[in-house]
A = this chain, B = another copy of it.
Amino acid sequence: MGGTKAKGLLGGERISEAEYAVMEALWARAPQSAAEVGEAVGGQRDWSLATVKTLLSRLVTKGALATEADGRRFLYTPLIERSDYVGGESRRLVDRLFGGRAAPLFAHLAEAEALSAEDIAEIESLLQELKQ
């Protein structure tokens, strides 16, 4: 296989949407304690701390987070990179809905006016790079 260092997520384990919110907090800053994560996601979702703890545990079980003891509590750190997760999800969507090709997705976004002028400029310069 690739040999390039295994990256978390044992088996076909997937990260659910609620779990993803927790990962976001930890990708933004790590390590963090459960309470800190609760603080961090508090703005977006209205969860009790118990809920956050459940999600953290599940993520540890899934191999998405590592724990490091800090006195009587744990500090959590992501074991998978945000870019890996994001890349995987993107690929899944492209595969499922667009036959694996990115162009139709792009066309869709364009058609739905989901592209700002800024996006267009940015993509254009990316294209330039790719062509070299």
Contact = CB atoms under 8 A, between A and B. Distances in A.
A102 B118 CA distance: 10
A108 B93 CA distance: 13
Size category, A interface = 35 or more
Interface in A21-64: none
B122 A103 contact: yes
| Smallest CB-CB A-B distances: 5 pairs | A103-B122, A103-B119, A102-B109, A86-B97, A102-B119
Interface of A: 17, 20, 83, 86-87, 89-91, 93-94, 96-98, 101-103, 105-112, 114-116, 118-120, 122-124, 126-127, 130-131
29 contacts: A20-B96, A86-B97, A86-B98, A89-B93, A90-B93, A90-B105, A90-B109, A90-B112, A91-B112, A91-B114, A93-B93, A94-B114, A101-B116, A101-B119, A102-B109, A102-B114, A102-B119, A102-B123, A103-B115, A103-B119, A103-B122, A103-B126, A106-B122, A106-B123, A106-B126, A107-B126, A115-B130, A120-B131, A123-B127
